[in-house]
């Protein structure tokens, strides 16, 4: 299940990959709050509605991290990290191309699921 990496070069690559993923996870949870007024103006909505962009991400992470953490403890760390990285990246791309507020919120939920997988792994 869990492979031990002994090659120093691969250890450094792993550390860099995990560091970047965790940094992006933490950054994404808070940096969107700064852009919310601009996003609200772009989509022509009010502050109460646009707050779902942040809330969707945070609720998804909070709701899934314990569940994913339980499975990660059983030895699925590598696969959870890879799936989380892919989901987070797909969610980020979907956020970038969202032309509708509903699609943006759905993309943030996808990002949140990926972030929970990364953090649990």
Q: Which residue range(s) make up the domain with 111?
A: 8-120
In a domain, 16, yes or no: yes
Q: Which two tokens stand for residue 98?
A: 């969202």
Q: What's residue 76's pLDDT? A: 83
Is 2 a member of any domain? no
Kindly state whether residue 61 falls inside one of the protein's structural domains. yes
Q: Assess if residue 35 is contained within a domain.
A: yes
The predicted model scores a pTM of 0.86
Residue 10, CA atoms < 13 Å, CB-side half-sphere: 5
pLDDT at 24: 84
Closest CA to 110 of 56, 35, 45: 56
Whole-number pLDDT of residue 2: 59
Q: Which of 77, 70, 91 is nearest to 25 (CA)?
A: 91
Whether 57 and 28 have beta carbons less than 8 Å apart is answered as: yes
Encode the chain (121 residues) as per-residue pLDDT tens digits. 557 778 888 888 888 988 888 888 788 878 888 999 999 999 999 989 999 999 999 999 999 999 999 988 888 888 998 999 999 999 999 999 999 999 999 999 999 999 999 998 7
Q: Looking at the domain assignment, is residue 3 inside a domain?
A: no
Domain count across the chain: 1
Report yes or no on 116 lying in a domain. Answer: yes
Cβ count within 10 A of residue 39 = 17
User: Cβ atoms within 10 A of the Cβ of 77, count?
Assistant: 16
Question: What's the pLDDT score for residue 72?
Answer: 87
115 is a domain residue: yes
């Amino acid at each position: 299940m869990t492979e031990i990496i002994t090659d120093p070069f691969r250890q450094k690559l792993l550390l860099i990959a995990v560091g970047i993923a965790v940094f992006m996870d933490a950054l994404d949870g808070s940096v969107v709050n700064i852009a919310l007024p601009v996003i609200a103006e772009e989509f022509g909505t009010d502050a109460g509605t646009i707050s779902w962009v942040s809330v969707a991400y945070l609720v998804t992470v909070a709701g899934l991290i314990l569940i994913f953490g339980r499975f990660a403890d059983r030895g699925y760390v590598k696969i959870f990290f890879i799936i989380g990285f892919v989901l987070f990246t797909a969610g980020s791309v979907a956020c970038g191309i969202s032309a509708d507020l509903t699609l943006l919120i759905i993309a943030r939920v996808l990002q949140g699921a990926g972030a929970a997988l990364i953090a649990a792994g």
